[in-house]
Structure 1
């Protein structure tokens, strides 16, 4: 398998965690989204029509979008499972994962922040305020879900799931952007526990071949 990835992309980070948890080898192919490589015709036409990272190539099969990729990996390589089989547990994991992937990440990703800066001409202070606002909105929801339904050292139980895989990169990015996350102790506890796990550590941005400080 091949993974088109950018070290600091939280969506790429998710897939790297999934691959590491399942022990699946892959070739890392860097795509620099800061310089616009993900929008180049060769990449868009040949690899990922959505002009984004990550993209997974498995033989003749190509797939973009991190949630779709992780569902594919779960179907092709079921152990360890990222999504529980029991309907209630599966739904709970997807609830939290969707909160991160659909409510927090899309409004704070690089293309949105650049649009705010380059097109709408907001100040750096306004851009930072935007980022912090949506982090707080989303993380408050995450914390409430964990307080009501969370158990064990992970989001939901004694093993990592899709919920943890989506939460950890989001927390890492928020910390990198200087957000105060002290109001979300349960989420921070999950993050700390996950960060000590070999698969999560292996997938971290600083461990990737295209990492730059």
Structure 2
């Protein structure tokens, strides 16, 4: 079997999701760091393979895959256990809805390139940018909190795709000092997930150290 290669940035929420998935599946991989702050994503060689110039990207089985949720779905279809997406269509749709609430509705609005655009061309100061960041997390978390169970993980007894999305977003929330008291279920679930080896090993502080 060919080597698995992850193009990664330690603080990227999207890459964090894929690192968790690889860990859950027990897959060894080599990391190629793409420093988003230094602009490595704009390098000609990387752009030639990934025209969007984002992370993560994953080389696996002779394929070069991009977009974190697409990568995780591929892993789930080719390395079935443990599954993070249910096979039942209705349950799968519910899991995808929770995951996309984070990955499509919260995260893109707070992506590094969006923050740079707010600070640069739009001339916003740090206070305004931080207020923007917190607003979208608070709005999204309110919805996920309402969807979260009183016990167990978002996925119930085992993590599902929405759990893989939640933990990186909770890390972002703590980094930007978003008040989390209104979200006791999310705080509880996040704490339980971060105790799991695959989640702990994928954390930014574990990657950076």
Task: Sort the TM-score into its range (normalised by shorter chain).
Answer: over 0.9
* Equivalent residue, structure 1, for 2:50: 48
* Equivalent residue, structure 2, for 1:144: 146
1:59 to partner: Cα distance: 4.0
Alignment pair present for 1:32 and 2:35: yes
Gaps in structure 1 of 5+ consecutive residues: none
1:60 to partner: Cα distance: 2.4
Between the aligned partners of 2:144 and 2:73, the Cα distance in structure 1 is 21
Contact in 1 for aligned 2:57/2:64 (Cα 8 Å): yes
Between the aligned partners of 2:197 and 2:6, the Cα distance in structure 1 is 19
1:177 to partner: Cα distance: 1.2
Q: After TM superposition, where is structure 1 displaced by more than 6 Å over at least 4 residues in a row? A: none
Contact in 1 for aligned 2:10/2:16 (Cα 8 Å): yes
Q: Please, which of 108, 131, 140 is the counterpart of residue 129 of structure 1?
A: 131
Q: TM-score, normalised by structure 2?
A: 0.96
Between the aligned partners of 2:179 and 2:64, the Cα distance in structure 1 is 38
* Equivalent residue, structure 1, for 2:193: 194
* Equivalent residue, structure 1, for 2:22: 19
RMSD: 1.1
* Equivalent residue, structure 2, for 1:10: 13
1:105 to partner: Cα distance: 0.2
Gaps in structure 2 of 5+ consecutive residues: none
Between the aligned partners of 2:150 and 2:131, the Cα distance in structure 1 is 32
Contact in 2 for aligned 1:50/1:64 (Cα 8 Å): no
Q: Secondary structure at the match of 1:116?
A: helix
Contact in 2 for aligned 1:152/1:158 (Cα 8 Å): no
Q: How many residues are paired up? A: 206
Superposed CA deviations along residues 85-126 of structure 1, whole A, max 9, x for unmatched, are 122221111110010011100000100001000111101111
Superposed CA deviations along residues 43-91 of structure 1, whole A, max 9, x for unmatched, are 110x312100000001421010000000000011000001011222211
Q: TM-score, normalised by structure 1?
A: 0.94
Between the aligned partners of 1:181 and 1:151, the Cα distance in structure 2 is 16
Contact in 1 for aligned 2:5/2:31 (Cα 8 Å): yes
Contact in 2 for aligned 1:9/1:53 (Cα 8 Å): yes
* Equivalent residue, structure 2, for 1:185: 184
Q: Secondary structure at the match of 2:38?
A: coil
* Equivalent residue, structure 1, for 2:202: 203
* Equivalent residue, structure 2, for 1:99: 101
Between the aligned partners of 2:188 and 2:96, the Cα distance in structure 1 is 20
Between the aligned partners of 2:137 and 2:150, the Cα distance in structure 1 is 23
Between the aligned partners of 1:123 and 1:138, the Cα distance in structure 2 is 23
Contact in 2 for aligned 1:3/1:29 (Cα 8 Å): yes
